[in-house]
Amino acid sequence: MDSAGDEQKITLQAGILDNLTGEFPADPYFRVPVAGEESGQPAYGFRAAWTKMLFHHPLTLGAAGYYSRQDWAFEHYSDGWSGMTDWDIPLSDRVSLSGEFYRGRSVGGIGGGISHSVLYVGNPESPSTAVRGLDSLGGWSQFKVRATSKLEFNAGFGLDNPYSAQVRAAAPSELYLNGQHLLVQNRSGMANFIYRPRSNLLFSTEYRYLQSLGLYSFNNSAEQINMTMGVLF
């Protein structure tokens, strides 16, 4: 972390990460290397952020990058990458807006592309089959209101969107593997309140709406209501 002034900060972060790709193990009882690990190198991440105080709260704007090399057998390689931006912006002393946006390819291992990194065009068991990295974009944003020092309200929305044209082109091969790979969008929305009667005690109730959209008019949705009590120590 490097200071850029009395009330400003520049943060630099970097990481060497486990090179995951999002696929499930072929055998739940026998651990074998997945495509990211087969490449023989880890994944890499970097983030830079600028922070300044605004309305007595930190305003933060960040940008990040991610890269992973993946070996999908038969010398089929995919370069996973992602560009990301994040923000936490105080709009007043009691109101703030935060969130993150990403655009990437082959990023199922870090939750992008509905946890799917590549698509097959042809028989997936054939060495001549093309393996293509799945492009995707998405993100989330949350609106926060601090009504009092003890009570806050939050509302948020999130989206994960693999490119449907790519999924459509690979649909016959993906159906051969598993139909769940034909999902083309996940959405979620939530609203909650958090009440802290004491500094070490909190209560919260949250409503969440989840929706998954498929390539062929597939549409599943679910609603959740959660009630929570927490003790901080």
Domain CATH number, residue 130: 2.40.160
pLDDT less than 70: residues of the chain: 1-6, 24-27, 124, 174-181
Domain count, the chain: 1
Angstrom distance (rounded) from CA 16 to CA 23:
20
Q: Nearest-CA neighbor of 195 among 233, 156, 230?
A: 230
**What pTM was computed for the model?**
0.83
pLDDT recorded at residue 90 = 97
- Structural domain containing residue 137: 2-231
pLDDT recorded at residue 25 = 65
Structure tokens at 69: 């090399």
Sequence length of the chain is: 233
pLDDT recorded at residue 206 = 97
CA distances from 75 to 16, 35, 118 (A): 24, 11, 14
pLDDT recorded at residue 94 = 96
Cβ atoms of 35 and 18 within 8 Å: the answer is no
pLDDT recorded at residue 22 = 80
Partners of 222 in the β-ladder: 210
Cβ atoms of 209 and 233 within 8 Å: the answer is no
- SS3 for the chain is CEEEECCEEEEEEEEEECCCCCCCCCCCCCCCCCHHHHCCCCEEEEEEEEEEEECCEEEEEEEEEEEEEEECCCCCEEEEEEEEEEEEEECCCCEEEEEEEEEEECCHHHCCHHHCCEEEECCCCCCCCEEEECEEEEEEEEEEEECCCCEEEEEEEEEEEECHHHHHHCHHHHHHHCHHHHEEEEEEEEEEEEEEEECCEEEEEEEEEEEEEECCCCEEEEEEEEEEEEECC
pLDDT recorded at residue 217 = 72
pLDDT recorded at residue 182 = 79
Write phi, then psi, for 66 (nearest 5 degrees): -145, 140
Cβ atoms of 213 and 193 within 8 Å: the answer is no
The type of residue at 6 is D
Intra-chain end-to-end CA distance of the chain, in Å? 28
Cβ atoms of 26 and 38 within 8 Å: the answer is no
pLDDT recorded at residue 175 = 64
pLDDT recorded at residue 73 = 80
Structure tokens at 162: 């693999």
